[in-house]
Homo-oligomer: A and B are copies of this chain.
Amino acid sequence: MPHPRQERAVRTRERILRAAAEVFDEFGFHGGSISRIVRRAGTTMGAVYHHFSSKEDLARAVMAEQDADLYFPPGEDGLQRLLDMTMEVARQLRINVLFRAGVRLAVEQGDFGMRESAPYELWIKRFTEQLVAAERRGELLPGVDVEDFARTLVGAYNGTQLLSEISTGRADLIERIAAMWRYLLPGVASPEAISQLQIEAAPEGPRP
Contacts and interface: CB of A to CB of B under 8 A. Distances in A.
A149 to B, nearest CB: 6
A152 B166 contact: no
15 contacts: A27-B30, A28-B28, A30-B31, A109-B166, A110-B166, A117-B167, A120-B166, A151-B176, A152-B160, A152-B183, A155-B163, A155-B180, A156-B159, A159-B162, A184-B187
Contact of A152 (B148, B149, B179): B179
Contacts of A152: 160, 176, 179-180, 183
Given A28-B111, A31-B111, A187-B183, A162 B155 contact: yes
B28 A167 contact: no
A183 B149 contact: yes
Interface in A66-124: 107-111, 115, 117, 120-121
A151 B31 CA distance: 28
Contacts of A166: 107, 109-110, 115, 117, 120
Interface in A138-194: 148-149, 151-152, 154-164, 166-167, 176, 179-180, 182-188
Given A31-B111, A152-B180, A156-B160, 15 more contacts: A28-B30, A109-B166, A110-B166, A152-B176, A152-B179, A152-B183, A155-B159, A155-B163, A155-B180, A156-B156, A156-B180, A159-B159, A159-B162, A162-B162, A186-B186
